[in-house]
Amino acid sequence: MSVKEVVLAVIMVIGGLAFFLYGMNVMSSGLEKMAGGKLEQALKKLTSNTWLSLFLGTFITIVLQSSSSVTVMLVGLVNCGMMDVSQTVTVIIGSNIGKTFTTWLLCLMGVDTEGPLWLSLLNPEYFSLIFALVGAVLIMMSKNGRKKDIGNILVGFAVLMYGMVLMGDAVAPLKDSQEFQQLLTKFENPLLGVLVGTVVTGVIQSSAASIGILQRLADSSEAITFGMAIPIIMGQNIGTCVTALISSFGVNRNAKKVGVIHIAFNIIGTVFFLTLYEILDMTIGFAFSDMVINSVGIAIVHTVFNILTTILLLPFAKQLEKIANWILPDKETEPQQEEHALLDKRLLTTPSVAVTECDEASRKMAKLAKETMFMSISLLTDYDKKKAEKVFKNEDKLDDYEDKIGTTLVQLTSQALSEHDSQVSSRVLRAIGDFERLGDHAINLADIAKEIHDKKLQFSENAMKEMDVLTEALEDILERAYRVYKTVDEADAADIEPLEQVIDYLTRDIKANHVKRLQAGTCTIETGFVLADILNNFERVSDHCSNIAVSVIETSHSTFETHGYLNKVKFGNKNFNDNFEKFSHQYSINTSTL
């Protein structure tokens, strides 16, 4: 080959690789969006069973089209405390089986195009163009988010396959190149094959891409043997761990162990089976070792190797974890992770998982906000210094929640989210501000409680009875708002607004009664100021509960306007009127008694 031909071939290989990686990214993003956060939820719920974990690891890798992405996701989940290291082992093992799916998909490139039409159409070089056309139509013409995702998957697949075509065309002339034939003889050294497979896969950070290159090279050159390919394929399995290794920087010790387990699995499998293969080949000799391999043969070797490694190491899953613990022993001085530090930037690599984690974190935030409010309300009648300090600590945690969840969701705005994930993001962003404000009001009430305690202030008997009714109503709306947000129940959310209206009327009536008591001389101005502060905070808390309910209702509607909704439910709405009447009777005070 001339220098010009070599340069052009290199450009085509690089370009084909770029198309391949981009197409795979687009396709896997579309598949991941369609799956949504269900993958991550399944990981956390079903990993206690070995076989379910193995299946999940295989299935999720097929969906994401990358075992590295699965490992990075696991690192993130362990780092933020959502999974234990022990839960990840069989998932990682399963991911090594799942990554063989792409290898078999790429085998279709070898379908004979000179046969009948129906056979030629099985070659992705042709049917992927049909996919591209259908995908482009869905992307441009459809308003449905799910159909657009399907369009992206089809277009991504077409781009991926076109990249394979480019790489195949680039290496085709190597078949007649003497220099290339001489270079291949060096790969008879198995250690060199493992090294090359590891380095190439580590550089491009995609075992699917490096396997694809090897497949196109094998089909085009017809000079690569099984003996040459087997060590390279094993090395490619080690190289795919580079991404997991990189993702392990800056995480806690447990999260680093996930990367260690991934690396240990592939290295142990490679060392064991390569040694076994070489020993048996030297002693009894394998007839296929000198046979020319093609893309199907590469897929077979890749699949058999990963299945055999799984069979070998699956019974020793706990030992793999022990290896990770031995390499990275726990330190007694290492600070324990805060329970509320839930989000990890590595989850951004799978946006739907990040959205689901933000949603889960917001539910924990909602529970903390409710508990903190209940704690501060109790301080008004029974002040306790330690409990007051806990209120202030919880408020700091709520601030931390809002910062982390909000930052993550803002970062996700640059990602192409599914319609469902966009709605969830919107609901969470709206609600976390209200949860944080509940913490602020809890602090206000704790300060008021301290003032009441320090000054030994006393409310009149009637004022206390009225406050008991209002407190019961406030605790009711807080409990309802938390339950509505936790279950995302639109029907229950509609009950919040009439109760909020009742609380508004209660605070109005209590203020009016207080003025009457001041005039009658049964209450003092000093207690009046304190009472006004309590009522103002109670009223604002109920407003935030209303906002939380509105955020839940908004999730179920593509077009929603808050003020329009509130006006609609308050004026001429029978359900609102019935509930308002019910809550008014349940929480009533005597406005004639002072």
Residues above pLDDT 90, as percent of the chain: 20
Residues above pLDDT 70, as percent of the chain: 81
The pLDDT, as a whole number, for residue 557 is 55
Taking the C-alpha atoms of residue 469 and residue 589, their distance in angstroms, rounded to an integer, is 7
Q: Is the pLDDT of residue 337 over 50?
A: no
Average pLDDT of 447-463? 88
Q: Is the pLDDT of residue 499 over 50?
A: yes
Which of these ranges, 339-353, 465-479, 485-499, has the smallest mean pLDDT?
339-353
The pLDDT, as a whole number, for residue 480 is 92
CB 412 within 8 A of CB 348: yes
CB 97 within 8 A of CB 51: no
The pLDDT, as a whole number, for residue 577 is 83
Block residue for tokens 């946006």: 351
Block residue for tokens 């329970």: 339
Per-residue DSSP letter, 335: P
Measured distance between the N- and C-terminal CA atoms of the chain, rounded to whole angstroms: 104
Segment holding 415, helix H or strand E: none
Confidence of residue 473 (pLDDT cuts 50, 70, 90): very high
Average pLDDT of 89-114? 78
Average pLDDT of 533-561? 81
Confidence of residue 593 (pLDDT cuts 50, 70, 90): low
Q: How many CB atoms lie within 10 A of CB 508?
A: 12
The pLDDT, as a whole number, for residue 411 is 82
Of 200, 283, 276, nearest in space to 238 by CA: 200
C-alpha distance from residue 274 to each of 266, 267, 282, 291 (Å): 12, 10, 12, 18
Taking the C-alpha atoms of residue 548 and residue 365, their distance in angstroms, rounded to an integer, is 12
For residues 334 and 368, the model is more confident at 368
Confidence of residue 42 (pLDDT cuts 50, 70, 90): low
The pLDDT, as a whole number, for residue 11 is 84
Average pLDDT, the chain: 80
Taking the C-alpha atoms of residue 441 and residue 435, their distance in angstroms, rounded to an integer, is 10
pLDDT tens track for 280-316? 988 888 888 888 888 889 999 999 999 999 999 888 8
Q: Is the pLDDT of residue 541 over 50?
A: yes
CB 239 within 8 A of CB 201: yes
For residues 226 and 51, the model is more confident at 226
The pLDDT, as a whole number, for residue 171 is 65
C-alpha distance from residue 117 to each of 107, 126, 169 (Å): 18, 11, 22
Confidence of residue 358 (pLDDT cuts 50, 70, 90): confident
Q: How many CA atoms lie within 13 A of 44 on its CB side?
A: 16
Q: Is the pLDDT of residue 161 over 50?
A: yes
For residues 297 and 342, the model is more confident at 297
The pLDDT, as a whole number, for residue 22 is 82
The pLDDT, as a whole number, for residue 476 is 93
Taking the C-alpha atoms of residue 411 and residue 415, their distance in angstroms, rounded to an integer, is 8
The pLDDT, as a whole number, for residue 339 is 43
For residues 181 and 374, the model is more confident at 374
C-alpha distance from residue 106 to each of 109, 169, 479 (Å): 6, 15, 55
For residues 245 and 341, the model is more confident at 245
Per-residue DSSP letter, 65: T
Q: How many CB atoms lie within 10 A of CB 26?
A: 21
Taking the C-alpha atoms of residue 500 and residue 498, their distance in angstroms, rounded to an integer, is 5
The pLDDT, as a whole number, for residue 437 is 94
Q: Is the pLDDT of residue 569 over 60?
A: no
Provide CB contacts within 8 A for 228, sequence distance 6+: 184, 187, 188, 193, 293
Of 466, 79, 26, nearest in space to 256 by CA: 79
HEC readout, 115-140: CCHHHHCCCHHHHHHHHHHHHHHHHH
The pLDDT, as a whole number, for residue 338 is 45
- Rounded CA Rg of the chain: 32
Average pLDDT of 263-276? 91
Taking the C-alpha atoms of residue 89 and residue 321, their distance in angstroms, rounded to an integer, is 7
pLDDT tens track for 359-408? 888 999 999 999 999 999 999 989 999 999 999 999 999 999 998 888 88
Of 5, 8, 10, 15, nearest in space to 164 by CA: 15
The pLDDT, as a whole number, for residue 562 is 52
CB 377 within 8 A of CB 446: no
Q: How does DSSP assign 526-580, residue by residue? A: HHHHHHHHHHHHHHHHHHHHHHHHHHHHHHT-SS--HHHHHHHHHSS-HHHHHHH
Paired tokens of 449: 């409680």
Segment holding 396, helix H or strand E: helix 385-412
Confidence of residue 165 (pLDDT cuts 50, 70, 90): confident
The pLDDT, as a whole number, for residue 36 is 57
Confidence of residue 275 (pLDDT cuts 50, 70, 90): very high
Paired tokens of 69: 């992405």
The pLDDT, as a whole number, for residue 112 is 57
Paired tokens of 111: 């379908």
CB 305 within 8 A of CB 207: no
For residues 57 and 28, the model is more confident at 57
Confidence of residue 201 (pLDDT cuts 50, 70, 90): confident
Taking the C-alpha atoms of residue 532 and residue 376, their distance in angstroms, rounded to an integer, is 17
Taking the C-alpha atoms of residue 163 and residue 404, their distance in angstroms, rounded to an integer, is 39
Q: Is the pLDDT of residue 198 over 60?
A: yes
CB 196 within 8 A of CB 232: yes
User: What percent of the chain is helix, strand and coil (3-state, nearest 5)?
Assistant: 80, 0, 20
Q: Is the pLDDT of residue 261 over 80?
A: yes
The pLDDT, as a whole number, for residue 519 is 78
Q: Is the pLDDT of residue 481 over 70?
A: yes
Residue 65 Rama label (left phi>0; alpha psi -120 to 50; beta): left
Q: How many CA atoms lie within 13 A of 397 on its CB side?
A: 23
Average pLDDT of 27-54? 68
The pLDDT, as a whole number, for residue 39 is 61
Per-residue DSSP letter, 327: H
Q: Coil, strand, or helix at residue 292?
A: strand
- Domains of the chain and any CATH numbers: 3-327 (no CATH), 347-456 (1.20.58.220), 459-594 (1.20.58)
Segment holding 48, helix H or strand E: none
CB 247 within 8 A of CB 205: no
Taking the C-alpha atoms of residue 475 and residue 470, their distance in angstroms, rounded to an integer, is 9
Average pLDDT of 261-269? 89
Which of these ranges, 96-105, 256-265, 401-410, 583-592, has the smallest mean pLDDT?
583-592
Q: How many CA atoms lie within 13 A of 437 on its CB side?
A: 17
pLDDT tens track for 211-260? 888 888 887 777 788 988 899 899 888 888 877 777 666 667 777 888 88
Average pLDDT of 544-569? 68
Q: Coil, strand, or helix at residue 225?
A: strand
CB 321 within 8 A of CB 89: yes
Confidence of residue 503 (pLDDT cuts 50, 70, 90): very high
